[in-house]
Amino acid sequence: MTPWMRKIHKWIGLLIGLQLVLWMCSGVVMSLLDVKAVKGVEYKAPAPSKQPWPADAIPLSPVLAAAQVAAQNVSTAWLLDQPVYRLRGEKTTQLVNARTGQPFDLDAGLARKLASASYRGPGKAGQAELVEQSLETRAHEGKVWRVPFSDSWMLHIMDYTERKDFNNPLVISAAVGGFWLALSGIWLLFTSFSLAEFIPKRWRGTRSLLVHAPDGSRLRSLRAHAGDSVFVALAQQGLQLPSNCGGGQSCGLCEVRVRGGAPAATSADRALLAPARIEAGCRLACNLKLDRNLDIEVRGGAELGAEHEAQVESVRALSPFLREIVLLPKDKPGPEYRPGSFIQIHVPAHKMGKHQIDVPHEHQSAWAGLHLPAQWSSGALLRRSYSLSAPVLQTEGRLTLLVRFCHGKQGAKNHPPGKGSAFAYGLKPGDRVKYSGPFGDFAILQSEREKVFIGGGAGMAPLRAMVRDLLESGASEPIHFWYGARTSTDAPYVDEMEGLAAKFGNFSWQLVLSDERGGQGPGGLVHEAVRDGLLQRLPDLQACDFYLCGPPPMLKATRTMLGKLGVAEDRVAFDDFKI
């Protein structure tokens, strides 16, 4: 529930926040103005000077005889330039012309004249409106007319059509939304803490944590304070689980499997882990508390405590916002660097500017739409995950990464780029970087079944490595690769894929462009194109293995589509980059 509550809290907070800005701005303006201007007294016309009662006024007795109310009180007054008798009964009041004896009918025209006579400001009077009984007029007897004058009061009371009703549904909804926002914020605040955080460590005692590799070998036996998360306990012992969020329960990379009886899954576990993995005892280490002795299994084995060094050998722009970065590790990679795995680059604290990013001439028009700040910085060590985009055996031990530049919305002013991708785009040949890994369980299933690869964006990286590994190792089963991009300039390795399709008869390649129509290939969304252009003509989808990687919306849509076509979950392998 917590991830959904955070998402709802965020978006409602944005909507309420916009109105809060209007309230604040209009309130600031009113606080800067003179109090008379805020109350409207500044533009109120002064009371007219007293006039002598006219000599031609008719006597009161015939007025009372013809009155429509049983007058209990009688007073005289002036209505604009007309003398009137005010007859007040038990429930109603009547105005009578003191010269003619005729009752006054307060209509829209007269109401507008009266309002204009009592106003001396720059605004213009609108049409008079008869107001029904309301909270503001509950103490007034008789008709009430409202005459609006042009002003900006509507911004404060949120009545954008009538400009008069402080109790309109919009402001009531905003008030209810603000109240819910406060309550959900308090709830999220309490859920972000655990009881152990309020108890000193020396009073908490310790718990045992046994750490095993996937093959069953014991990596570490340690003791940690009760209440600490497994993620923190391992990090304190030099075993750093992969993570893009630093233990913030949002990336899902720090997955571990609890041996024996696993604790109940939390909302974060259910949001980021597949139901089958939760059933197998998998949990997020950042959300797994040491409230008892635990025996866990971690992926990555001894690599969790290792830190490697590599030198940047080359940097190549493949598209405006995709670059290939080739690293030459200090130590020769082993078989654990399989296609589909990823490494975590250690991004140090740094300061950068846009002048440090080299942009090829052919890509400068695309970069011109980015209004990046002159400088940005990162104040702490970060880790960012990048999949291997080529088999290490085919690159003589080099690590090939495909890095996408994470920028803000094109046209947004001074939007800082992603800290990891900006650091990677500032790398030059000869620079040295540190990394951990490899990690991940996205891998080629050992079978000779027909294989379908579907990708988009930076999802090209692991899929390319898998396809190249299969073809070069002599795989004979049919292999299909459908890749989606917005335009042809956004698609990397197109010439290479076309060359592989020409060289290997069992490999087919199809580029799908969503923003370019009329080309040789299909257009639209890649999951719809592969459904209509390939899957509907395959005789048996259950005899195929599917490999997916790309942006989260594309990945979700593709998995949903495969489910509707009846493809079993164990036939679908995917990597969502945990974003």
Token duo for residue 378: 């990162």
Q: Return the SS3 of 290.
A: coil
Residues 6+ apart with CB under 8 A from 274: 569
CATH 3.40.50.80 fits 450-575, yes or no: yes
CATH among 1.10.3470, 3.10.450, 3.30.420, 1.10.287 for 45-112: 3.10.450
**Which is more confident, 300 or 89?**
89
> Which architecture, in CATH terms, is 312-436?
Beta Barrel (2.40)
pLDDT of 365 reads 87
Nearest to 181 by CA among 3, 2, 5: 5
Per-residue pLDDT reduced to its tens digit, 505-548: 999 999 999 887 655 668 889 999 999 999 998 989 989 999 99
pTM of the shown model: 0.63
Give the pLDDT mean for 80-90: 84
Q: Per-residue pLDDT tens for 422-478? A: 899 999 999 999 998 888 888 898 888 999 999 998 899 999 999 999 999 999 999
Residue ranges of domains in the chain: 1-44+119-130+147-192, 45-112, 201-303, 312-436, 450-575
Q: Which amino acid is at 285?
A: A
Give the position of tokens 């139901």. Answer: 275
CA atoms within 13 A on the CB side of 153: 14
Length of the chain equals 579
What confidence score (pLDDT) does residue 579 get? 45
Which H/E stretch holds residue 116?
Answer: helix 108-117
As a whole-number percent, the residues of the chain with pLDDT over 70 amount to 77
- How do residues 542-576 score in pLDDT, each as one tens digit? 899 999 999 888 999 999 999 999 998 889 998 87
Q: What is the CATH class of 201-303?
A: alpha beta
- Region 207-220: mean pLDDT is 83
Distance CA 9, CA 187 (A): 11
Query: Given a cut of 70, is residue 6 above it in pLDDT?
Result: no
Contacts of 40 (CB under 8 A, 6+ apart): none
pLDDT per residue as tens digits for the range 349-370: 888 888 888 889 988 888 888 8
pLDDT in tens, 296-316: 888 766 667 678 999 999 999
For the cut 70, the answer to whether the pLDDT of residue 34 exceeds it is no
Q: How many CB atoms lie within 10 A of CB 211?
A: 22
What are the angstrom distances between the C-alpha of 435 and each of 289, 292, 304, 531?
A: 27, 33, 11, 38
> What is the mean predicted confidence (pLDDT) over 61-65?
83
- Greatest CA separation for the chain: 119
Q: φ and ψ at 111, to 5 degrees?
A: -60, -40
How far apart are alpha carbons 456 and 462 in whole angstroms?
11
Of residues 51 and 192, which shows the higher confidence score?
Answer: 51
Using an 8 Å Cβ cutoff, are 407 and 372 in contact?
Answer: yes
Q: 348: which residues sit within 8 A by CB, 6+ positions away?
A: 378, 381, 423
pLDDT band at 26 (very low <50, low <70, confident <90, very high): low
